Structure 1
Amino acid sequence: MKSLQKKLLSKVTTAALVVAAAGTAQAAGGMKLGSPAFSDHDMLPAKYAAKGGPRNCDGEGVSPPLEWSNTPEGTNSYAIIVHDSAGAHGLWVTHWLDCEIPGTSSSFREGEVSGAPAGGNYVDGTNRIGKPVWFGPCPDVGNRPQHYVFTLIATDLEPDALESGLDKAGLLAALEGHALGATSLVGRYAR
């Protein structure tokens, strides 16, 4: 009986290692989102924080550069959502929402979505202040660093499928059944 248990345990362990290795290989080859300006879970440079306003934000309001790769086959467009789940005292803040980014795109230049809509084929959503542009971090002074999650979603939708002005809930509802894959990048910020 013990011999049979050892053989079964060996087979289960081998199968688990094969599955784990396949999962690691798939993760290594899956969608990637990064920035030449900061690494995942690093502090965001102050220039990407919000500028001025009633909260005396200390940044320059410049949108960070982003690059992505290894997107799923059949991707026709992308959506991106940047949010802070601790913002607004835990009620979440959407800092940027953009959808219908053409499937041929693979990056945003630094400042590309600062101040004016990105243009091109992009259908801009609305951020915390109701604008279709990058709205940088501006956490309460003295807070621990908050986490700003950049999520890129690959979709099978054509670049003109969605209407302008969607908020986060509207975008997520519109993408139901059309998302092919996603990846995230986290930047932290405190002041």
Structure 2
Amino acid sequence: MLRVLGVGALGLTWAATAQAQGVFTLTSTTFKDGQLMPRKVANNLTTNPNCVGENISPQLSWTGVPEGTKSFVLLMEDPEGRGGAGVHHWVAYGIPPTVTGFAEGEVSKPSDKYVGGKSTQNVGYYSGPCTPAGPPHHYTFILVATDLEPKELPAGLTREEVLAKIVPPAPAMSRAKGTTGLVGLFQKPN
């Protein structure tokens, strides 16, 4: 009886693992989804008093990559920034399918692991939060698996230009194979 239960338990464990591996997921060891991010991820621009950090990009990794993925797009946005107009903190694309994440601090400067787009701050690499005093802002990290070749898009595209390439107007087909995301909060310390 124990042997049968053991096999049953093993079968259930295997099934749960197989199912979990099939889900496209973005995670971070720097912060938990829906929780406050540490101060070090905030920007360090000396010209802006709301930039109180070290501009160290968070660790990000992904699993369960959809079949047929040729590259990834990674966006970081603050929808509450600029009085609700939104701020695009990072636009990266052309990330090869062999890349499964970025180490903490790795994308605080240009990298050969991705093509840098143009953020609201006009930079092609991670640009951390500069949250004003008040309630926390929600920083959304969006990862899109695409069927675009890693070098298919030129450097310097804005978020809107990249999204137009992934999801062109009808009747053209979407180039997205799957999407996942992660939200980190940041509040300017008192």
State the TM-score bracket (shorter-chain normalisation). 0.7 to 0.9
Find the counterpart in structure 1 of residue 165 from structure 2.
174
Give the counterpart of 2:126 among 126, 134, 143.
Answer: 134
Count residues with an aligned counterpart: 164
Preserved contact between residue 77 and residue 86 of structure 2 (Cα < 8 Å):
yes
Return the offset for 1:71: 1.1
Preserved contact between residue 26 and residue 62 of structure 2 (Cα < 8 Å):
yes
Find the counterpart in structure 1 of residue 96 from structure 2.
102
Structure 1: segments with no counterpart, 5+ residues: 1-24
Alpha-carbon RMSD across the aligned residues, in angstroms, is 1.5
Return the offset for 1:175: 0.9
Moved beyond 3 Å, runs of 4+: 25-29
- CA distance in structure 1 between the aligned counterparts of 2:105 and 2:118, rounded to whole angstroms: 17
Paired letter, 1:181: G
Find the counterpart in structure 1 of residue 138 from structure 2.
147
- CA distance in structure 2 between the aligned counterparts of 1:65 and 1:134, rounded to whole angstroms: 12
Residue 44 (structure 2) pairs with residue 51 (structure 1): yes
- CA distance in structure 2 between the aligned counterparts of 1:86 and 1:42, rounded to whole angstroms: 16
Find the counterpart in structure 2 of residue 117 from structure 1.
110
Give the match's secondary structure for 1:58.
Answer: coil
Give the match's secondary structure for 2:124.
Answer: coil
Return the offset for 1:53: 2.6
Paired letter, 1:95: H
Paired letter, 2:57: S
Find the counterpart in structure 2 of residue 163 from structure 1.
154
Larger Rg: 1
- CA distance in structure 1 between the aligned counterparts of 2:20 and 2:160, rounded to whole angstroms: 28
Residue 52 (structure 2) pairs with residue 35 (structure 1): no
- Give the structure with the larger helix fraction: 1
Over residues 94-121 of structure 1, what are the superposed CA-to-partner deviations in whole Å (9 max), with x where a residue is unaligned? 011100000111010111111x21124x
| Higher mean C-alpha deviation, range 68-77 or range 27-36 | 27-36
- CA distance in structure 2 between the aligned counterparts of 1:39 and 1:153, rounded to whole angstroms: 20
Preserved contact between residue 21 and residue 64 of structure 2 (Cα < 8 Å):
no
